[in-house]
Structure 1
Amino acid sequence: MYKILLIDDEEIIIEGLKKLVPWEEIECEVVGVAEDGEEGLELAHELKPDIIISDIQMPKLSGLEMIKRIKEKSKDTKFIILTGYREFEYAREAVTLGVTQFLLKPTNLEDIKNAILEAINILDDERTKVKDIENLRKKLYKFNALSDVEEDENDNEDDKVRFLTGQAIKYIKENFSSKLDLQTVADHLYISSWYLCKILKKEVGNSFIELLNEVRIQEAKNLLTTTNYKVYEITEMVGYSDTPYFSKTFKKHVGITPNQYRNKKWDNKQKG
């Protein structure tokens, strides 16, 4: 169940949302309600909701200021604004804060339900992406161990597979910046590309391309934070020939674009 926090200084709005939205049908549960921004901030930190539906103009702390403070500690929470204020500046700031939907009162039930479903879809996509990347990185730790494996005199098939996988990983890590493909690595190991695919799948559980991309992205992250090379230069340095494809791949693995990653790391250094 997705946890929902409702924040509005109008009791009739809170009660209407609690009673009219088919929460169970969309696998959601209202875990708390607040009547002002300060109370909303406290409950958000305590309950860690997946989605917050909030007004803008509220006592003590505005909805937008509250969102800013929540996002400082919780990057995953999604926000839906439900307000009677039509000022463009509010909408623009909401967009800047990454608010999922900006709904104007009075709003029909279907629009509210669709806004919640959109927020859920975004959450699911982000969490799936993070899980996939975490799984791949766990396997990379295994690669590091495998790449250090020395050839065993034992003629056991499992030992051979582990050794060949380790050598393949080692070769990828040493040559990722060149135009590297499956056949090149297979030729280096004097085995068929089919057999290389098979042993990588058995030992690592991922394809050659997935492994190569992860090694390249790790080096790109290093270059983005330790050098002043432009993104298109780093693209070539880590083995990609197409900058848009590199940026897309980087975002898939890291969750943000190369420039956003560089700026974020730079901001953290400045704060530090």
Structure 2
Amino acid sequence: MYKILLIDDETIIIEGLKKLVPWEEIECEVAGVAEDGLEGLELAQKLKPDIIISDIQMPRLSGLQMIKKLKEKSRYTKFIILTGYREFEYAREAITLGVTRFLLKPTNLEDIKNAILEAINVIDDERTKVKDIENLRKKLNKFNALNDNDNNNTDNEADKVTFLTGQAIKYIKDNYENKLDLQTVADHLYISSWYLCKILKKEVGNSFVELLNEVRIQEAKNLLTSTNYKVYEITEMVGYSDTPYFSKTFKKHVGITPNQYRNKNWNNKEAN
């Protein structure tokens, strides 16, 4: 079940959402309710909801101010704005904060339900990507360990495939900063690019490009937290020629931009 937090200073809105939205039908449950942004902030940090449906203008802390603070703590919660305020500035700030949907009161039940389903789809996509990347990292660690063992036995096909995969990963890790493609790695191993593609998919479960990106992103994370190089410099150092593409790939793997990752980890260092 997806956990929902409702935040609005109008009791009638809260009660209407609780009673009218078919929560069980869309695999959701209302985990909590709050009457203003400050109470919502505290509850969100405690409950860690999947989706927050919030008004904008509320006592003590506005909905947008609350979302901004929560975004600094967690990138996974999705936000839906339900407000009676039509000002363009509110909508623009909501878009900047990455709000899933901006709904105007009064709105119909179908629009609210569709907004929630849209947020659920985004959550599911992100969780799938995170799971895929975690699996890839586990397999990378496995082959790193295999590569450290000099007693690889290549007498049978299974051992040969494992050995070649480990060697391919080692070559990628040693040369990630260069212009690297599938054919280059295959030539190094004296096998066809088709065969290398096949064994990578079988043993690691990912394509050559996905594997290369993961190695490069791991090195970029190290550089971002241990050096003062600018993002465009790190882009080139880890083998990318285009900074926007690097930033997009980094966010796909890590969930936040390179600058956000650097700021977050530098702040953690200073706090410790």
Query: Which TM-score tier does this pair reach, normalised by the shorter chain?
Result: 0.7 to 0.9
- State the AA in 2 paired with 1:100: T
Q: Would the alpha carbon gap of residues 55 and 31 (structure 1) be closer, same or farther in structure 2, given more than 3 Å must change?
A: same
Q: Would the alpha carbon gap of residues 182 and 36 (structure 1) be closer, same or farther in structure 2, given more than 3 Å must change?
A: closer
Paired residue total: 272
- State the AA in 1 paired with 2:78: K
SS at match of 1:29: strand
TM-score (norm 1): 0.83
Distance 2:134 2:173 in 1: 19
Q: Would the alpha carbon gap of residues 234 and 36 (structure 1) be closer, same or farther in structure 2, given more than 3 Å must change?
A: closer
- State the AA in 2 paired with 1:189: L
SS at match of 1:53: strand
Computed over aligned residues only, the root mean square deviation of the Cα atoms, in angstroms, reads: 2.9
Give the CA deviation at 1:49.
1.9
Report the counterpart of residue 243 of structure 2 in structure 1.
243
Give CA deviations for 1:29-79 in whole Å, capped at 9, x if unaligned.
223333344554454344332112223444565444544554454432222
Rg (Cα) greater in structure: 1
Give the CA deviation at 1:116.
2.0
Kindly indicate whether residue 101 of structure 2 is the aligned counterpart of residue 101 of structure 1. yes
Q: Given that residues 146 and 169 in structure 1 are in contact (C-alpha distance below 8 angstroms), is that contact kept between their aligned partners in structure 2?
A: no
Report the counterpart of residue 226 of structure 1 in structure 2.
226
**Structure 2 unaligned runs (5+)?**
none
Name the stretch that deviates more: 114-123 or 53-62. Answer: 53-62
Q: Would the alpha carbon gap of residues 15 and 135 (structure 1) be closer, same or farther in structure 2, given more than 3 Å must change?
A: same
**Structure 1 unaligned runs (5+)?**
none
Give CA deviations for 1:207-265 in whole Å, capped at 9, x if unaligned.
22221121111112222333333333323322223333323322222223333333333
Report the counterpart of residue 217 of structure 2 in structure 1.
217
- State the AA in 1 paired with 2:2: Y
Report the counterpart of residue 48 of structure 1 in structure 2.
48
Report the counterpart of residue 205 of structure 2 in structure 1.
205
Q: Given that residues 3 and 49 in structure 1 are in contact (C-alpha distance below 8 angstroms), is that contact kept between their aligned partners in structure 2?
A: yes
Q: Would the alpha carbon gap of residues 113 and 184 (structure 1) be closer, same or farther in structure 2, given more than 3 Å must change?
A: same
SS at match of 1:228: coil
Q: Counterparts of 1:13-32 in structure 2 under 5 Å?
A: 13-32=13-32
Give the CA deviation at 1:202.
2.8
Q: Given that residues 2 and 28 in structure 1 are in contact (C-alpha distance below 8 angstroms), is that contact kept between their aligned partners in structure 2?
A: yes
SS at match of 2:24: coil
Give the CA deviation at 1:131.
1.6
Give the CA deviation at 1:271.
4.4
- State the AA in 1 paired with 2:168: A
- State the AA in 2 paired with 1:266: W
Q: Counterparts of 1:89-128 in structure 2 under 5 Å?
A: 91=91, 94-95=94-95, 97-128=97-128
- State the AA in 1 paired with 2:242: D
Name the stretch that deviates more: 81-90 or 207-216. Answer: 81-90
Report the counterpart of residue 156 of structure 2 in structure 1.
156
Q: Given that residues 153 and 159 in structure 2 are in contact (C-alpha distance below 8 angstroms), is that contact kept between their aligned partners in structure 1?
A: no
Distance 1:113 1:260 in 2: 32
Name the stretch that deviates more: 11-20 or 57-66. Answer: 57-66
TM-score (norm 2): 0.83
Distance 2:114 2:62 in 1: 25
SS at match of 2:239: coil
SS at match of 1:240: coil
SS at match of 1:130: helix
Distance 1:246 1:70 in 2: 26
Name the stretch that deviates more: 174-183 or 234-243. Answer: 234-243
Distance 2:194 2:106 in 1: 61
Q: Would the alpha carbon gap of residues 210 and 84 (structure 1) be closer, same or farther in structure 2, given more than 3 Å must change?
A: closer
